[in-house]
Amino acid sequence: MSTTRRLETITVPALAATVRLSDLPHHYFGTIASRKGLKKAIDKGLVTVNGRVAYSGDHISGGETIERFEAMQQQSPILELKVKVLYEDEHLAVVCKPAGLEVSGNRKWTLQHALAFNLTASSQPDALPRPEPVHRIDHPTTGAVLVGKTVAAVMALNRLFETRAVTKTYHAICIGHMPTCGEMITPVDDKPSSASFTVLSCLASTKYGGLNLLCLHPHTGRRHQLRKQLAEMGNPILGDREYGIEGRIMTGNGLYLHASSLRFTHPVTNGEMTVKADLPKKFLKLFPDLESGTLMRID
């Protein structure tokens, strides 16, 4: 395994009955956060049993030495793009993603490739070669993205998202008349989805049938969830070319959707963290009271 790095070695304790390797409780491992993660590592050939590459169907009865490896991929070029760092320590960071940038992917022009240019390398023993974002926001959406700088931090932060222990707050400007608050529970891609919203301010607009400044809290994390659910209500986000109403799509200023805060428990210090990302100037042009912060409700 010349292109891999060993992450951990465990000895399986005595078991009451033989189990398949893929059914082994994932909590035996310090670097695998879920059963799905264990199977993925096995399928990629990154797990060995007693020195040989393991398979999901291998029988484990206790006493086996299991090693977990990490693929060492060729380093991609660093994107020298300046982004705003909202918070940073040895374990994690929160950065503000600009519009028009994918969080990650095969292209060079991604937030992930810009992180090493903006963040200080961790000095922890399990430091990652490069920081990694632990969740995504849409390509046209701006705002806060949580980043892990060590193996342990990435695993812990992933668990927080899996258990919905991260509170996400968004702000958006939507078109049309709508109730002052409510819950959106329409399925997204045939999956249960929910989010709550509060209208903070309204602006008269003949062209758009009114503009509404919203504070939103998604309770699930489906792809394009807020955009789809608001469009389903008849109140698409201003500038949404994909889900907007024909003839009422603002062009030239992008999507008016911003990930404005993340609240979570720090996985190392156990301190409660709330990290905020200031709203883009285009929001302030439509709702000047935002400049003083009087409308910024982040619960």
Kindly provide the b/e burial profile for residues 147-156, where b requires at least 16 CB atoms within 10 angstroms of the residue's own CB: bbbbbbbbbb
Half-sphere exposure of 240 (CA within 13 A, CB side): 28
- Tokens describing residue 70: 């990490």
C-alpha closest to that of 1 among 75, 70, 76? 70
- Residue length of the chain: 299
Distance of CA 93 to the CA centre of its chain: 12
Q: How far apart are CA 174 and CA 159, in angstroms?
A: 32
One-letter amino acid at 181 equals C
Q: Give one word for 118, left, alpha or beta, with left for phi > 0 and alpha for psi -120 to 50.
A: alpha
Active centre residues (catalytic): 138
Radius of gyration of the chain from Cα atoms? 22
3-state secondary structure 189-233: CCECCCEEEEEEEEECCCCCCCEEEEEEEECCCCCCHHHHHHHHH
